[in-house]
Amino acid sequence: MIEGMHLTPIGDGNVLLEPGEGLDPSQPEALLAPVLEFLQRNEARRLVYDLKNVRLIDSVYYAWLVKLSAACRIANVEMVTVNMQPAAAYALSLTLDKSPPFTCVLDIHQLR
């Protein structure tokens, strides 16, 4: 059990990450190791980060996502975000000057 998130293996090498209210994106270092440990223990090939309940992705939250995707890449795990909310996508697009380093997919059913 990692504080602030719920990790569930959903089959076919996919692990679903559902962030909760207690997630503190300003402390990524404390979260990366336990997440990677879970992914390796479950032989994950892909981390599916569910953004359904994330209303706003600010620079701190975006930095957390970037760090997590970089850590996943090192562990040979692809990170994919799903269910990004329109308002969050709009706000984030205003701050980005390049595409994010992770894949974005509309929902979990569209994972290829």
Query: Under rule CB under 8 A, how many of the chain's residues touch other proteins?
Result: 20
Binding test (CB under 8 A) with other proteins, winner from 56, 63, 70, 96: 96
Q: State whether residue 72 is helix, strand or coil.
A: helix
- Does 69 help bind other proteins (rule: CB under 8 A)? no
16 neighbors 50 (Cβ within 8 angstroms): yes
- Does 94 help bind other proteins (rule: CB under 8 A)? yes
- Does 99 help bind other proteins (rule: CB under 8 A)? yes
**If we measure between CA atoms, which residue out of 57, 71, 58, 84 comes closest to residue 28?**
71
- Does 58 help bind other proteins (rule: CB under 8 A)? no
51/76 Cα distance (integer angstroms) = 22
**If we measure between CA atoms, which residue out of 56, 44, 41 comes closest to residue 16?**
44
Segment interacting with other proteins, rule: CB under 8 A, options 10-18, 23-31, 36-44, 84-92: 84-92
Binding test (CB under 8 A) with other proteins, winner from 12, 13, 82, 101: 82
Least Å from the CB of residue 10 to other proteins: 17
**If we measure between CA atoms, which residue out of 80, 85, 83, 72 comes closest to residue 100?**
80
Site residues, other proteins (CB under 8 A): 81-82, 84-90, 92-94, 96, 99-100, 104-107, 110
